[in-house]
Chains A and B, each alone.
Chain A
Amino acid sequence: MKTHVRLVSILITLSLVIVTGSFAADYPTKPLTLINPQAPGGTLDIQARAFAPLAEKMLGQPVVVINKTGATGMVGGLAGAQANPDGYTLTVGSVNIPNAIEWEIANGRKPPFTRHDFVCIGTFTMSPTFLIVPPDSPYKTLADFIADAKAKPGQLAFSSGGLYGMSHLPAEIFARAAGIKVRHVPYTGGGPSLTAVVGKQVDFSVNYPANTLPLVRGNKVKALAVIGAKRLKSAPNIPSTKELGIDAEYYGWVGILAPVKTPKPIVDKLKDVMKGVVEGKAFVDIIEQAGDEVHFLNGEELAKYMDAESEKIARLYAEMVKETPK
């Protein structure tokens, strides 16, 4: 009897191996789903939807983007982490995923999943943010702004698209690096946060190139600096914080993640497709149209970057949680 059970289990395991093996050989045989944990209309959505039709050409199967939003990306992230590891359900990852996990840990909660539940496929972009002020604000340069913020500690306020999200952290990192005390007013999403600067409801904000540059060109906001190491190709006359002597850097990456147990041959194929699409002219054109820049990291580079960055963010969160009045 016992041998029977053992035999059956060996057979099942074997058949599974064969099935996954044959799966990988002619993968994909059905449409792929790309879970976007953020709302339609955001940076992730633009990039994922630009990627989908191009990847479809290389894979020979449709790639369908679905938005599964909620709890700053935790709901979609969890669905992606727990998806069947067969290469048919992938997640549009962003810096929000490791951040949300670290935030849970900093608040003493057990995160529903960790970044080790994913294997990285690669990135589309890794963009810095602009520090922006209303168009008629008195600040002409970043130095003006910092001097004024230092003169009135805790009085200037900035908007963000949501607590601890990718448009809150750069401002927080910048404020700490510049040694200024400012107030945070969270809004529900990147759009409303931008509206708040245009409408002078707040004194400054940070936001990503694709959303910000059209407003800069239309003179609805003024960009004082890029929070990062170097200037952007699309905005060569806006200085970076590094050249102005402020050690603040933050990049919001967007890319693709797969469940960690996805078979290696499938992961390799996805990595090839990703590299092919992201370095192709069609994709670069769409992203540059939108005012952003393509920045491809392969899976290994992204995993390494995420590990190093998560450690830094964890420290920052621990400080922020400590400073929050209970």
Chain B
Amino acid sequence: MDVLSNLFNGFQTALTFQNIYLCFIGCLWGTVVGVLPGIGPLAGITLLIPATFGMDATGAIIMLAGIYYGAMYGGSTTSILMNIPGESASVVTCIDGYQMTRKGRGGAALFIAAWGSWIGGTLSIVGLMFLAPFLANFAVKFGPPEMFALLLIAFILLGSLGKGSFFKTVPMILLGLLIGTIGMDPLTGTMRFTHGIKDLYDGIGFIPVAMGAFGIGEILTSTEESLVRFVSKVKMRELLPNREELRASWGPIFRGTGLGFLIGLLPGSAHVLSSFVSYTLEKRLAKRPEEFGTGRVEGVAGPETANNAASESAMIPFLGLGIPTGPAPAVMMIALLIHGVRPGPLFISEQPQVFWGLIASMYIGNVILIILNLPLVGLFVNLLRVPFRILFPVILLICLVGTYSLNSSVVELVILLFSGVLGYIFRKLDFDIAPFILAMIIGPTLEMAFRQSLMRSAGSFSIFFKSPIACTLIVLSCLLFIWNIFRAVRPKKAWEKALEEGE
């Protein structure tokens, strides 16, 4: 009951007029930075830190946290409507979300994404509230061997991500891996494929590549098809998901919450991983996995729920131990420090009003976000009524500005445009882009975890089997691999044959 009385006190802090107002501002700004491609939660929070100087610590963290989880709500919008990932965790949402828009179900996709985000976010706070200190201690145990084992599974799952055949997915994965090797090797400082170009020292950022290959590639393809297309009139009923879509999304939303919550605890690009693992999981569980990629609501509900759950559980190591595992929590930590509050293992017991005020404000924030986002669905869908000859240049401009705002680098603009052309070619040849982008993100992390493990053990592979978590995950990935081969060689069922003949 201790938790409940603390939470009650937290609500007393969070429900003051000033704090509700700050929470609202944070959520609103978060939605905006989430919707705008390129500007992620990190830039959003950093920009607003100076604005918090006049506030007390609780107010400041309530507002900044609002930006952080609010951005996860907005991230899906451009993915679904325009095929441009609004932020990194929404790459997989492009696959089915955009197809739903093409079928005229864009409003429903946005609705489900917001709904799932709300459930994922709220349940994740419940977990955060009860388990923060315990889970923080668990999260730090997750070292390089465990990370490697987990990414190995992710990697095998990558193979089944694409809607195309094995031979169309694997080359894309390999290409993604190759591009991921560019830049300075973090473990020895050796330069790889940089050719002395300083902008490449840090590797090729995946945001320009993703925005180019998805967004600009899409524009190029569309202009060639026709400038007059779908969505002329949007009726209220079409904005809402129908009964079948709602029923289909329950499972993915709850599985996405669980997955996202666990993966969010891990260091690094956890929320990217969470949405992608959730997507592949839903595809595995689906009765008709071949329909994924043609606009299944499960492909939106799962990932969008997972990335919200992950973004909230990613705050656990930061709140429970004072160690931020991602860049956005790190900036929030600085904001607290500037306000004289020192995060650390004693934070929750020494600063209960800040911690519980924050927790309570996150419940409120999630409610604000869903109230804010559902009416916006109608507005955003209406954007599609803008004639394409106007919309396309605007999208192009957004991509350019978004990319330039990241590092003010002209080389990245070139990468963006080049990826656009590349994305167009891939589309023409019917290759999937998502496995390419995800391989680019996972590859370097996988390599890093593998080499860190071996550096720790002086080159002995036994390190992967000493840790029970890593060992289990590796065995699991082997089983998954065998299952993949088995599925490829087993005799086809009647409906699968019918489908292939139908094509």
CB within 8 Å of B: which residues of A?
Answer: 39-42, 45-46, 49-50, 52-53, 67-72, 74-75, 78, 103, 107, 112, 154-155, 157, 162-164, 183-188, 191-192, 194-196, 198-202, 210, 214-215, 217-220, 285-286, 289-291, 324
Apart from A39-B327, A41-B330, what 7 extra A-B contacts exist at CB < 8 Å?
A41-B334, A183-B456, A185-B456, A188-B268, A191-B325, A214-B343, A220-B321
Task: Mark out the residues of chain B between 152 and 183 whose CB falls within 8 Å of any chain A CB in the assembled complex.
Answer: none
Name the A residues within 8 Å of B46 (CB-CB): 40, 67
Name the B residues within 8 Å of A164 (CB-CB): 189
CB within 8 Å of A: which residues of B?
Answer: 42, 46, 49-50, 53, 139-144, 184, 186-189, 198-199, 201-202, 267-268, 317, 321-325, 327, 329-331, 333-334, 337-338, 340, 342-347, 407-408, 448, 452, 455-456, 458
A219 touches B345 (CB 8 A): yes
| Bound Cα distance from A164 to B199, whole angstroms | 20
B189 touches A52 (CB 8 A): no
| Bound Cα distance from A183 to B457, whole angstroms | 9
B50 touches A195 (CB 8 A): no
Smallest beta-carbon distance B436→chain A, Å = 23
| Bound Cα distance from A196 to B449, whole angstroms | 13
A289 touches B325 (CB 8 A): no
Smallest beta-carbon distance B463→chain A, Å = 10
B455 touches A183 (CB 8 A): yes
A214 touches B344 (CB 8 A): yes
Name the A residues within 8 Å of B325 (CB-CB): 191-192, 195
A186 touches B331 (CB 8 A): no
A185 touches B337 (CB 8 A): no
The winner among B322, B329, B347, B458 for most chain A CB atoms within 10 A is B322
Residue of B nearest to A321 (CB): B189
| Bound Cα distance from A158 to B188, whole angstroms | 16
B331 touches A194 (CB 8 A): no
3 pairs of A and B residues whose beta carbons are closest in the complex: A41-B330, A218-B345, A214-B344
Name the A residues within 8 Å of B330 (CB-CB): 39-42, 191
Q: Contact partner of A186 among B186, B198, B267, B342, CB < 8 A?
A: B186
A157 touches B338 (CB 8 A): no
B202 touches A157 (CB 8 A): no
| Bound Cα distance from A155 to B456, whole angstroms | 9
B452 touches A185 (CB 8 A): yes
Name the A residues within 8 Å of B139 (CB-CB): 195, 199
Name the A residues within 8 Å of B408 (CB-CB): 68
B344 touches A195 (CB 8 A): no
B338 touches A74 (CB 8 A): no
Name the A residues within 8 Å of B458 (CB-CB): 154-155, 183
A188 touches B201 (CB 8 A): no
Name the A residues within 8 Å of B50 (CB-CB): 52-53
Name the A residues within 8 Å of B324 (CB-CB): 41, 191
Q: Known interface pairs A53-B53, A112-B198. Does A41 touch B327 (Cβ–Cβ under 8 Å)?
A: yes
| Bound Cα distance from A67 to B331, whole angstroms | 11
Name the A residues within 8 Å of B189 (CB-CB): 103, 107, 163-164
B456 touches A75 (CB 8 A): no
Residue of A nearest to B340 (CB): A289
Residue of B nearest to A71 (CB): B201
| Bound Cα distance from A107 to B188, whole angstroms | 11
Main secondary structure of the interface of A (DSSP, over half): mixed
Name the B residues within 8 Å of A184 (CB-CB): 455
| Bound Cα distance from A81 to B199, whole angstroms | 16
A157 touches B342 (CB 8 A): no
Smallest beta-carbon distance B482→chain A, Å = 30
Smallest beta-carbon distance B208→chain A, Å = 14
Smallest beta-carbon distance A91→chain B, Å = 15
Q: Contact partner of A49 among B201, B334, B452, B455, CB < 8 A?
A: B334
Residue of A nearest to B140 (CB): A199
Smallest beta-carbon distance B273→chain A, Å = 15
Residue of A nearest to B330 (CB): A41
Name the A residues within 8 Å of B452 (CB-CB): 185-187
B202 touches A71 (CB 8 A): yes
Q: Known interface pairs A192-B325, A286-B338. Does A220 touch B345 (Cβ–Cβ under 8 Å)?
A: yes
A198 touches B323 (CB 8 A): yes
| Bound Cα distance from A317 to B267, whole angstroms | 30
B322 touches A199 (CB 8 A): no
Residue of B nearest to A286 (CB): B338
Residue of A nearest to B349 (CB): A218
| Bound Cα distance from A215 to B317, whole angstroms | 12
Name the B residues within 8 Å of A71 (CB-CB): 184, 198, 201-202
Smallest beta-carbon distance B350→chain A, Å = 10
Smallest beta-carbon distance B327→chain A, Å = 6
Name the A residues within 8 Å of B322 (CB-CB): 214-215, 218
Name the B residues within 8 Å of A217 (CB-CB): 344-346
Name the B residues within 8 Å of A183 (CB-CB): 455-456, 458
Name the A residues within 8 Å of B347 (CB-CB): 214
| Bound Cα distance from A275 to B145, whole angstroms | 47
Smallest beta-carbon distance B466→chain A, Å = 12
B345 touches A214 (CB 8 A): yes
| Bound Cα distance from A141 to B408, whole angstroms | 49
Name the B residues within 8 Å of A289 (CB-CB): 337, 340, 342
Residue of B nearest to A219 (CB): B345
Name the A residues within 8 Å of B140 (CB-CB): 195-196, 198-199
| Bound Cα distance from A68 to B324, whole angstroms | 20
Name the A residues within 8 Å of B323 (CB-CB): 191, 194-195, 198, 215
Q: Known interface pairs A39-B330, A74-B198, A291-B342. Does A186 touch B187 (Cβ–Cβ under 8 Å)?
A: yes
Name the B residues within 8 Å of A163 (CB-CB): 186-189
Question: Could you list 12 A-B pairs, sorted by A, with CB under 8 Å?
Answer: A45-B331, A68-B408, A71-B198, A74-B198, A112-B198, A183-B455, A183-B458, A195-B139, A198-B140, A198-B321, A199-B139, A215-B322
